[in-house]
Amino acid sequence: MMFFIDTANLDQIKEANDLGILDGVTTNPSLMAKEGISGKNNQLKRYKEICDIVDGDVSAEVISTDFEGMIKEGIELSEIAPNIVVKIPMIKDGIKAISHLTAKGISTNCTLIFSAGQALIAAKAGATYVSPFIGRIDDTNWDGMSLIEEIAEIFAMQDFDTDILAASIRNAKHIVDAAKAGADIVTCPLNSILGLLKHPLTDIGLEKFLADHAKANA
């Protein structure tokens, strides 16, 4: 399973990249706004900065919601760097745009997926990735992880090449559960990735090893 980081914060991207486990980055307009990045030039500049840090795929989301606008923006974003993936919302014109960009050889990530049907039509249109939003489904008292399982079953049965990118990850358990459910990629905040490292028995065990070593070598 691949690990992407879900942020537009350069320090966090560098920190995850330095761990040697980072395969890519996803951003969205809310994450860009959180970093205080506004205006088209600053947004394009930030995508370029991210692509300079990470070799893997970097999802950059369009703002337009009409076909022509999404194509124009998508082509412009794809010209920033070869590892840019154009992130397109799951709407009717979005599916049209994914088909069009796929035919042009441009990678796409269909975002805001909340049902297996949405994932199916995005895959049919040729999306490189589909992004089901686990945490937001859990927030509505439904089971986000069962959606990953359902999509994984359909894609395997129907032999789709589209990768399942589990998004809206809120904690380390989500990452483990997404791996078990068949996600190809998880995109997570840095804290959720770092949460995978933690166990109290590891801390207690290490403290004891070091104390015993210190005693024996006093």
In whole angstroms, what is the distance from residue 164 CA to residue 128 CA?
Answer: 9
d(CA 164, CA 120): 11
Taking the complex as a whole, the smallest distance from the CB of residue 164 to ligand E4P amounts, in Å, to: 12
According to CB under 6 A, which one of 3, 6, 95, 107 is a site residue for ligand E4P? Answer: 6
Q: Which residues contact 204 (CB under 8 A, 6 or more apart)?
A: none
Secondary structure (DSSP) of 95-116: HHHHHHHHHTT--EEEEEE-SH
Sign of CA dihedral 98, 181, 7, 90: positive
Q: Is 96 annotated in the active site?
A: no
What is the nearest approach in angstroms of ligand E4P to the Cβ of residue 26? 4
Q: Identify the CA nearest to 26 among candidates 196, 195, 194, 190.
A: 190
Question: CB 52 → ligand E4P: shortest distance, Å?
Answer: 20
- Choosing from 152, 167, 175, 193, the residue that interacts with ligand E4P (CB under 6 A) is 167
Residues of span 36-95 touching ligand E4P by CB under 6 A: none
Angle, alpha carbons 57-58-64 (nearest 5°): 130
Question: Site residues for ligand E4P, window 170-189 (CB under 6 A)?
Answer: 187
Contact residue for ligand E4P among 12, 111, 128, 192 (CB under 6 A): 111
Alpha-carbon distance of 77 to 207, in angstroms, equals 49
Could you say which residues in the range 125-154 bind ligand E4P, by CB under 6 A?
131, 133, 135-136
How far apart CA 27 and CA 77 sit, in angstroms, is: 13
Q: Which of 3, 168, 174, 178 is in the footprint of ligand E4P by CB under 6 A?
A: 168
Find the binder of ligand E4P among 7, 28, 108, 162 (CB under 6 A).
Answer: 28
**Catalytic residue of the set 87, 92, 208, 215:** 87
Q: Which is nearer to ligand E4P, 78 or 111 (CB)?
A: 111
Task: Please report how close the Cβ of residue 208 comes to ligand E4P at its closest, in angstroms.
Answer: 38
Cβ-contact 59, 25 below 8 angstroms:
yes
Give whichever of 143 and 212 is closer to ligand E4P, judged by the CB atom: 143
* Measured distance CA(83)–CA(189) in Å, rounded: 20
Chain positions contacting ligand E4P, by CB under 6 A: 6, 26, 28, 111, 131, 133, 135-136, 167-168, 187
Catalytic positions are 87
